Amino acid sequence: MQRNFMPRNGGRTPLIHAAMALLLASLSSPAWSAMVTLHEAAVESIFAQSGFADPVDLRFGPTIQYVAPALLDVGSSTEFNQLKNNFLGLPNTTVRLFFVDTISWCGDNGSVAGCANNSIAIVNSTTAASPTVGDELIAHELGHVFGLEHTGGDNLMNPTINDGRNSLTAGQITDLLADYNVLYDVNNKPYVDIAPVLVVAAATAVPLPGAALLMLGALLPLGLARRRA
């Protein structure tokens, strides 16, 4: 199920990276959709592996809800650009990591788990939630954001998702550390500001499983009021 993709060229032109074959199609249940899973420690470890003089500090901010029912599936260049061109009031060096239900367009039509371009990455929230490959999906898309192209083998930038494909070459590490999305603190240590963005059909409180909602019925008005605060 390997997907074609449009390779990124050397510049920062707006080419788009369709990402990974969606091997976990069985996980594409709506029950799992529309949620944010960051795997922060695991993703950070990929950008701290042997070869990095200093680990890249991934500074995930609070999750932003973005109400856009038409974008729960990213299905066209127009829809992709609606995400790409909406900076949500954030600096253009803050990477926007969108979680959507499905991606059916990323350079061309088809179902992929992730898509990236310049300072945005879009992931299928179901695949991102996978305990085995979710971290690699997010790291792979961040790799594109940092300017890396597809390659093969056990490399992170292998376009096919598979647990354990997370290595980076010395050349890739050099390249990504020079990307404009990688910032440096006063001690010259690399970091990246990342805003997780949950695309939702309507503004909601923190999503709860249906069963938990029923159990908490009596407490719900109070709980919702607090969560909206």
Instruction: Show the tokens assigned to 227.
Output: 């969560």
- Give the shortest CB-146-to-Zn ion separation in angstroms: 12
Q: Which is nearer to Zn ion, 19 or 83 (CB)?
A: 19
Q: How many residues does the chain have?
A: 229
Q: C-beta of 169: minimal distance to Zn ion in Å?
A: 16
Report the residue from 19, 95, 115, 182 that binds Zn ion according to the rule CB under 5 A: 19
Q: Which is nearer to Zn ion, 15 or 220 (CB)?
A: 15
Query: Based on CB atoms, which residue is closest to Zn ion, 19 or 145?
Result: 19
CB of 89 to Zn ion, least distance (A): 28
Of 19 and 24, CB closest to Zn ion: 19
CB nearest Zn ion: which residue? 19
Nearest distance from residue 19's CB to Zn ion, in Å? Answer: 4
Q: Which residue has 């992730």 as its token pair?
A: 114
Residue 121 structure tokens = 């990455």
Under 8 Å between Cβ of 25 and 3: no
The Cα–Cα gap between 17 and 105 comes to 10
CA distance 143 to 116: 9
Binding-site size, Zn ion (CB under 5 A): 3
- Interaction between residue 17 and Zn ion (CB under 5 A): yes
Task: Give least dist CB 7 to Zn ion, A.
Answer: 10
Report d(CA 99, CA 207) in Å as an integer: 14
Beta pairing partners, 65: 198
Q: What does the alpha-carbon distance between residue 198 and residue 186 come to, in Å, rounded to a whole number?
A: 31
Work out how close the CB of 54 gets to Zn ion at its nearest, in angstroms, rounded to a whole number.
25
Q: Which is nearer to Zn ion, 19 or 138 (CB)?
A: 19
For the CB of residue 82, give the shortest distance to Zn ion in the complex, in Å. Answer: 21
**Interface residues for Zn ion in 132-171 (CB under 5 A)?**
159
Strand order in the sheet with 73-74: 73-74, 102-105, 109-112
- Confirm if 108 and 138 have CB atoms less than 8 A apart: no
Which residue, 96 or 144, is less far from Zn ion as judged by CB?
144
Residue 16 or 19 having the CB closest to Zn ion: 19
Residue for token pair 């970091």:
191
Cα separation, 60 vs 120, in Å, equals 14
Which stretches of the chain bind Zn ion, using CB under 5 A? Answer: 17, 19, 159
